[in-house]
Amino acid sequence: MLLLILQTPTPTPMPPDPNFHLLALVMGWTVTILIAAFALGIIYKMIKGDINLQYLIAGADGDASLSRFQFLIFTFVIAMGLFLIILSVNPPAFPTTIPGGILALLGISGGSYVTSKAVGANATKPAATETTVVFPPAAATTGTTVIVPPSGP
């Protein structure tokens, strides 16, 4: 039995099909050109002003937010770093590991952004003394609208 297994010829690797290489090349060029066209279109629209970046780092109140600005900077730095790392090897390859410190950095930045947003949302909520209660609801009224002012001291 063992002899039979040993005598079985090992399958020889098939020679690469030249058509497959051509297909890979065509697909590669198509995807590369498509990505370039989309990206150029987006950048052109940004420059022209069709894509409005006015509130890119602004919070809900319209003023600039430091958390968003920091998130933007870290995103650019990490993206640029990743690009440089991928290009530093030949052929270009994605890094095998991303250190936990980098993920923690983005996590802290993102967490701070979310917390800041929560604090800001709480701040824009009107105080209890500013609340005006309208009863019954305006949509449901057919006659007189009764407005109940907040009960003050």
Partner 1 sequence: MATLIMFARYEIGFLMAALIAVVAFQILTGRIHTRGLLSEKTRSGLGGVSPARVQLLLFTLAFAFYLLSEILHSHQFPTIDTKWLLILGGSHSIYLGGKGLSLFRSQLKSNEEGD
Question: Nearer Cβ to partner 1, position 25 or 134?
Answer: 25
CA dihedral sign of residues 35, 38, 41, 46: negative
State the nearest-atom distance from the C-beta of 126 to partner 1, in Å: 9
Question: Nearer Cβ to partner 1, position 119 or 134?
Answer: 119
- Binding interface with partner 1 (CB under 8 A): 24-25, 28-29, 32, 35-36, 39-40, 43, 46-47, 49, 53-58, 61-66, 69-70, 72-74, 76-81, 83-85, 87-88, 91-92, 95, 98-99, 101-102, 104-105, 108, 111-112, 115-116, 119-120, 122-123, 127, 129-130, 153
Quick check: 112 and 67 in contact, CB under 8 A?
A: yes
Phi and psi torsions of 92, nearest 5°: -55, 135
Question: Nearer Cβ to partner 1, position 95 or 136?
Answer: 95
State the nearest-atom distance from the C-beta of 15 to partner 1, in Å: 18
State the nearest-atom distance from the C-beta of 133 to partner 1, in Å: 16
Question: Nearer Cβ to partner 1, position 143 or 153?
Answer: 153
| Dist. CA 57–CA 69, nearest whole Å | 6
Phi and psi torsions of 22, nearest 5°: -65, -40
Closest CA to 54 of 112, 46, 126, 140: 46
Residue 112: Cβ within 10 Å count: 14
Question: Nearer Cβ to partner 1, position 13 or 49?
Answer: 49
State the nearest-atom distance from the C-beta of 14 to partner 1, in Å: 20
Q: Is the peptide bond before 136 cis (omega within 30 degrees of 0)?
A: yes
Q: Kindly state the tokens that stand for 150.
A: 């907040």
